[in-house]
Amino acid sequence: MIIIDLCLSDIPAEARKKSEKNQKVYAKFVVDERKSPDNYGNTHTVYVNQTKEEREAGNAKQYVGSGKEIVFGAKTTAKKPDVEQLRDEDDLPF
């Protein structure tokens, strides 16, 4: 589970989209893992999703929050093995 804090004041108006289906307002976000935890133990950062054009133009990301992963019980936060690594280690006869 990842718990995030969002600053609603930082969400730009152009990121908010009204659904024609239910007339509710939505915004799309990206939750990305940090390379290392910050001073508050946050392991993830949250920013407004960019369009392909915005990414290609090198526009700055609009950060709106951060969060931390909470692990319960015996679960581990180890990353899943690389698919190629699994194929190399596969010793099944089929």
Q: What is the pLDDT of residues 17-39, one digit of tens each?
A: 999 999 999 999 999 999 999 99
Q: Looking at residue 73, what is its pLDDT?
A: 85
What pLDDT is stored for residue 94 in this prediction? 47
- The tokens describing 50, both together, are 């960019």
Residue 94 located in a structural domain:
no
CA distance readout (Å), 1 to 4, 7, 72, 76, 78: 10, 20, 8, 12, 14
Looking at residue 83, what is its pLDDT?
A: 54
Whether 42 maps to a domain, the answer reads yes
52 located within any domain: yes
Per the structure, how many domains does the chain have?
1
Q: Which domain holds residue 69?
A: 2-89
- The parts of the chain modelled with pLDDT lower than 50 are 94
Domain assignment of residue 48, yes or no: yes
Note whether residue 65 is domain-resident.
Answer: yes
Query: Residue 40 domain-assigned?
Result: yes
Q: Give pLDDT, residue 35.
A: 94
Chain position carrying tokens 């289906």: 21
- Do the strands 25-27 and 29-33 form a parallel or antiparallel pair, or are they unpaired? unpaired
The pLDDT of residue 71 is 85
| pLDDT, position 52 | 92
